[in-house]
Structure 1
Amino acid sequence: MPKPTVTVHVNRHSPERLEPAVGTFETAESFTLLLEGHDSPAHVHCRLGGSLDRVASLSGSNYYVEPDAQTPVAIDVNAEAIEEPVRGTLEVLTGYGAESVSIEITVEPAPPSVEVDESLSKPNQSPSEPSPPPLLERLEGVSGGQPSTIAVLALGLVAIAIATMAATIVGGPIATAGLTVVVLGFVAALGLLFR
């Protein structure tokens, strides 16, 4: 992702003239000051004012700007080191200080970093919460593990499946009534079995 950019036009329409594209700028990351040269060459001096030098630094302070050329100035920002916004100015001067502009800069605290590791790909299960036992083990626990109980459950499910297919194929109110009787019978058997 490209760095944010603040542009200042140098010597546009007259010598020793500076025109910032913006008057204020907010960031939580490093950015680039782009000195946009126009009609004539210029020596430009840059500096950080206010509290900005606590969290930001320039790659250099003096630059030669060619006409019709762009001179990038890297401004490194350390927003991880702050908890509150830091405000200051980025000052750009030319003509030995005869012309200057100040851009109000606010450095916002960086969002907290999130560390992603391999444990996120695994299900989160605490040791105090054992995994539920399989269905067969639960049925054995409820009915004392009797094979006849398991057979009744399996037979009931098969009966419901057959009744559902028959109701679907035959259709009509009589087939639907038959399916209802089978389901109610299965539910009643479950009630008697697990009470």
Structure 2
Amino acid sequence: MSGTEVAVHVNRGAAEALEATSGTLETSASFSVLLYGHETPAHVHCRLDGDLERIASLGESNYYVEPETVTRVPVTVVADAIDRPVDGRLEVLTGYGSESVSIAVTVEPGPPGVDVDESLAEPTRSEPEPTAFDRAVDRCSAVTAVEPATLVVLALGAVAVGVAGVTTATIGGPVATAGLGIVGGGVLVALFLLLQ
């Protein structure tokens, strides 16, 4: 049921009185008539007239409206079955037809329907298989899930080993080689302690 509604006041100010808040209604969907009861109870009859009868229907046609209550009258409209506007009237009667109010209703065609088949539920393309490089990166990222500070210490250790290696190659001799071993051992010990 759409949010479109039209209100009719029943027995407001006088017995067997009807008063619609609007004389026209344009819609492209189902709507409701709200019967507002006032001073005395009433039997109200609703009917559709004109071409509106072809595309709309009432659940019931007779309603008992008590004072100080609101009675909802659903009007079901099938607007997707039409391709041009349909005009008609909704009539609300009381007092065995002695009092009536008529509301001109225009039903516009609804938006075109969309056919959905089961192929839309299937993915149109699957995820590509990861390459060997992607798998290696995933493994490395899982292994190297360490804190940034550890990575900084590791980088500085690599620089220290590089400088010690260049120095050993340039100067040569057993002292330079021993210095390279000490720097390399220190970096390994620091790395071991950080990863624990």
What is the TM-score when the length of structure 1 is the normalising length? 0.59
Aligned partner letter, 2:59: S
Shift of 1:55: 0.4
Question: Which residue does 1:84 correspond to in 2?
Answer: 84
Residues 104 and 114 of structure 1: CA distance in aligned 2, closer, same or farther (over 3 Å):
same
Letter aligned with residue 20 of structure 1: A
What pairs up with 1:1-150 in 2 under 5 angstroms?
2-115=2-115, 118=120
Query: How far did residue 28 of structure 1 move?
Result: 0.6
State the distance in 1 between where 2:122 and 2:107 align.
Answer: 32
Query: CA separation in 2, counterparts of 1:44 and 1:118?
Result: 48
Residue by residue, what CA displacement relative to the aligned partner does 1:79-124 show, whole Å, maximum 9, x if unpaired? 011111100000000001110000000011111123567489859x
Q: How many residue pairs are counted as aligned between the two chains?
A: 123
Runs ≥4 in structure 1, deviation > 2 angstroms? 113-123
Q: Is the 8 A contact 2:2 2:30 kept in 1?
A: no
Consecutive unaligned residues of structure 2, counting only runs of 5 or more, are: 126-196
What is the identity, as a one-letter code, of the residue corresponding to 2:96?
Y
Paired letter, 1:35: L
Change in CA separation of 1:85 and 1:13 when aligned onto 2, cut-off 3 Å: same
Identity %: 58
TM-score for both structures, normalised by structure 2: 0.58
Taking only aligned residues, the RMSD between alpha carbons, in angstroms, comes to 1.9
Q: In terms of mean alpha carbon deviation, does 1-10 or 29-38 score higher?
A: 1-10
Can you list the C-alpha shifts for 1:26-54, whole angstroms capped at 9, x where unaligned?
A: 11101111111011100000000111100
- Aligned partners of 1:11, 1:104: CA distance in 2, in Å? 21
Letter paired with 2:50? G
Aligned-partner Cα distance in 2 for 1:120–1:54: 39
